[in-house]
A and B are shown apart, each in its own frame.
Chain A
Amino acid sequence: MFNQVYDWMDERLQLKATVRNILEHPVPDHVNFLHCFGGITFTLIVVQALTGMFLALYYVPAPEQAFASVEYISREVAFGKAIRGMHRVGASLAVIMVVVHMVRVYFTGAYKKPREMNWLIGVTLLFVLLGFGFTGYLLPWDQKAYWATAVGTNMAGSVPVIGDFLLKVLRGGTELGSLTLTRFYAVHIWFLPAGLTGLLALHFYMVRKQGIAGPL
């Protein structure tokens, strides 16, 4: 049954060649578990995307309701604590795995010519991930979230010349409030995911195009 459907689709789309190209791509001999960290990060990102989508079913980005909706998720929705926990722990794990991945790339010299551009894209991805962490931290709207964001945005405010402007852009005004929450939420669920998707596509395309860097 599956094979018949697969053959039918293959006849029209030449799927088998593509699948073989992706799944049966030869890997050089020197590749070992140290080359898994990027893939682990990607898996974590997929889990983040899924749990995030589902959390959005219940979360409300408004000061009067954000905390209550998060409490509702944790206390009353089935698996709520687990899903929220996955999203929260997964966020930390993703950043940790990115750093481990970077360390591997650094010490194997994989960033060198011709792979400099992919290193730069990787660094940008790190900042995108940190952006997810920074914006996501505010969303539960508890004391820790509020004050972490107060401190974080004040740091941006201390930048010479444009600091005041930056602070207002980040907070959506001088004060931390509704506008800060809605903008952090929008950035967290729309802007950053869009950037992340594009950058990841480029990152993977370049790996495939240039191949895995040679042995030490």
Chain B
Amino acid sequence: MDNQPKTAGEPVSRRSFLSYSLGLSGLAFSALLGVPLAGFALNPALVKENVKWLEVINIEEIPADQPLRVNVKFRRKDGWAEKEETKSIWVVKLGGEVIAYSALCTHLGCAYTWREEQKVFYCPCHGGMFDIQGNVTGGPPPRPLDRYETKVENGRLLAGRLMRKEG
């Protein structure tokens, strides 16, 4: 293979012309195969998930100033299958405001519980603690509890997209 750079006007040898042509066709062929393969493999990371609103609970059933864990049943598309799954959501009524928290600790995603005597959400994995407003009061969590986007329709609380608030 001739790796010497050619100056303008100098004729390209048949040999290097053929090597370049071969290299170019090889490249085209690889792209023809590689682009679909890459798209195919990366598909799950590239498709947009559409978030459905989940019916959580009747607004009246939420006690004031007292967190309540609601298990919400919903259908989820899991690849080629569709499954019924249950997801826990913590709801809190503070004054007039209703908040829906993700049931997972913002540290590493464990499920937490409400400790009534201390008035904190407590995560057993690494001792993370949050107050009723979701703010971190102890342990390693890097940010307050994640909240769901919420709306009320016909007296029912609906939870949508999960919002992340950096702390």
Contact = CB atoms under 8 A, between A and B. Distances in A.
Interface string A58-96: 101000010011011000011110110010000000000
Given A50-B33, A82-B36, A83-B37, A65 B81 contact: yes
Q: Interface extent on A, as a size class?
A: 20 to 34
Interface string B36-75: 1101111100110000000000000000000000000000
B79 interface: yes
B37 A71 contact: no
Contact of B43 (A68, A77, A86): A77
Given A3-B3, A47-B33, A50-B33, A79 B81 contact: no
Nearest to A69: B80
Contacts, number: 45
Given A3-B3, A47-B33, A78-B46, A69 B39 contact: no
A51 interface: yes
Nearest to B37: A54
A9 to B, nearest CB: 15
A72 B40 CA distance: 12
Contacts of A79: 36-37, 39-40, 43
A54 B40 contact: yes
Given A54-B41, A77-B43, A72 B79 contact: yes
B80 A71 contact: yes
Interface string A15-52: 00000000110000000000000000000000100110
* 7 cross-chain pairs, A with B, having the tightest CB-CB distances, nearest first: A72-B80, A79-B36, A68-B80, A78-B39, A78-B43, A79-B40, A79-B39
Given A3-B3, A78-B43, A86-B33, 5 more contacts: A79-B37, A79-B40, A80-B40, A80-B43, A86-B36
Interface of A: 3, 23-24, 47, 50-51, 54, 57-58, 60, 65, 68-69, 71-72, 77-80, 82-83, 86
